Amino acid sequence: MKDVIDSIRLLDVGKIEENVSLKKYTTYRAGGNASCIVYPKNTKKLISLISFLKENRVPHKILGNGSNLLFSDKDYEGVLIRLNEFDKIKFVSKRKIRVGAGYSLVKLCLLAAKKSLTGLEFAAGIPGTVGGAIYMNAGAYKSDMGYIVESVKVLTPDCKVVTLVNKEMQFHYRSSFLQTHPGYVCLEVVLHLKPGKREAIEEVMRDRRQRRLDTQPLEYPSAGSVFRNPPDNFAGKLIEDAGLKGKKKGGAMVSDKHANFIINYKNAKASDIKELIELCHDEVKEKYGIDMRIEQEFVNWE
């Protein structure tokens, strides 16, 4: 990897961090080390980087805030790409916002409220980037990104920049075009919001923030909901009914506050967390015949 990193330096695409602990870059606070993380300065530099990595068959992955990933305890012998420099934001009209993929979703929600724009309240407590939220079609409280996205500028696998409109993004429950088409990268989004009253918007956000504090184990590292809710059911209830609430493996535990959260309560290894996820899945399937779908992505477990 040293030769690869030296070559990336010569490309001058942006800042490089070497031999970094993934515990610092994922909300589970678990996982091994990554050979390097690169922060491209702009789209042109991103294209140069990805073209080089593909030509040389170097494993690589876009990494947002790491709020939906579980890296293994092994070292990641590849290049992680963070789009922190893709953080420009512009109000293109009174109701439309153009925002980069690297912009904080929480920060965006607060800004929208300040501008008296409604539609983003559901995302106020989701600790990801805008790009990650688009990829996952992040949602809560019966709403999601698919309701407010007008268009998404993406980089295609052959390194062309194209714009996809909402319908082309194929937004469904916790799913999008980007999930089903590997190699596409979200660069920028145009959101269409509605005018509202700032006080009312902020009150909704405060209420939902308090509800999260009351019902979710936010005091511990986690990656949010582990499983998608099956139709007409709740993953947390199924896990609790299966008797797994409070179940521990190493330093990981099925939260006794919300069973659809697995928390790192004591320096958990990634393998501890993964084993608990698989245990919850298998127990619920065996007892209730329900094949719960895991929301989180496992990386570097091969």
What was the pLDDT predicted at 274? 98
pLDDT tens, position by position, 107-140: 999 999 999 999 999 988 888 899 999 999 998 8
Find all residues with CB under 8 Å of 149, minimum gap 6, and list them. 134, 166, 169, 171, 189, 190, 191, 192
**Given 35, 72, 104, 225, the catalytic residue:** 225
What was the pLDDT predicted at 12? 96
Given a cut of 50, the residues of the chain with pLDDT beneath it are none
Lookup: tokens for 226: 């582990």
What was the pLDDT predicted at 302? 81
Lookup: tokens for 12: 């001058």
| Catalytic residue status for 295 | yes
**Given 98, 174, 198, 228, the catalytic residue:** 174
- In the numeric block, the tokens 């079609």 are attached to 137
What was the pLDDT predicted at 208? 87
Give the whole-angstrom CA distance, residue 44 versus residue 47: 5
| Catalytic residue status for 174 | yes
What was the pLDDT predicted at 13? 97
Secondary structure string (H, E, C) spanning the chain: CHHHHHHHHHHCCEEEEEEEEHHHCCCCCCCCEEEEEEEECCHHHHHHHHHHHHHCCCCEEECCCCCCEEECCCCEEEEEECCCCCCCEEECCCCEEEEECCCEHHHHHHHHHHCCEECCHHHCCCCCEHHHHHHHCCEECCEEHHHCEEEEEEECCCCCEEEEEHHHHCCECCECHHHHCCCCEEEEEEEECEECCHHHHHHHHHHHHHHHHHHCCCCCCCCCCCECCCCCCCHHHHHHHCCCCCCEECCEEECCCCCCCEEECCCCCHHHHHHHHHHHHHHHHHHHCCCCCECCEEECCC
DSSP strand pairing (248-249 vs 252-254): antiparallel
What was the pLDDT predicted at 125? 81
DSSP strand pairing (76-81 vs 33-40): parallel
pLDDT tens, position by position, 212-239: 889 999 999 999 999 999 999 999 999 9
Q: What are the structural domains of the chain?
A: 2-81 (3.30.43.10), 89-213 (3.30.465.10), 217-299 (3.90.78.10)
**Given 35, 82, 222, 295, the catalytic residue:** 295
